[in-house]
Amino acid sequence: MRPPEIVLASASTARTRMLTNAGVRHCCDPADIDETSIKQNWLGSPQGLAQKLAFEKARVVSLRHRGALVIGSDQILALDDEILDKPGSVEAAAEQLRQLRGHTHRLISAVSVVCDDQELWTYSDHADLSMRDFSDVFLHDYLDHVGADVTSSVGAYHLEGLGAQLFQSIEGDFFTVLGMPLIALLNFLRHKGALTL
């Protein structure tokens, strides 16, 4: 039997790179869901929200790919009781980094695998990241170097790049920080016979 088709319900270059580098053959079909509405109406935990968003992304895309294993993933940044969104502009990124510096925040990454509108598996993990209490001079130099690219990432950093210099300590899985708990996902896909390696 041929392994099932794998579809990533995302346009995230970080997530598709993770899958590609791990040898997972897949295609990408970004989900179009109203994340803002889901977040505004959410009354549960940040972990539950990440799982809900991951599931909804995978569910919507599964309707377009019958018989495929559709992977949805989402990441939530929680600072104490506040959930932060992607900054969207360099100015908002600077404000978000001022809010995060000198504090520990939590990144929660969730993944959901759906086939034909039915969730087969879900998983979430978290990492705790402590930012240095860096100066405004460092902050402006950092943003000058990374540019608008970080405005599409919650927390305004890419840990695999210059963003690593923002931190004094990180507790948790590297892939979870990048946006998807990859090892757990690979274990599930292997169990389903979806990996050829």
Catalytic residues: 74
| Residues 6+ positions from 124 with CB-CB distance below 8 Å | 47, 50, 51, 108, 109, 110, 111, 181
Name the amino acid, one letter, at 37. S
Give, for 138, the enclosing helix (H) or strand (E): helix 136-146
CA 118 vs CA 55, 56, 96, 139: distances in Å: 10, 11, 37, 45
DSSP per-residue letters across 35-95: HHHHHHH--S-HHHHHHHHHHHHHHHHHTTSTT-EEEEEEEEEEETTEEE----SHHHHHH
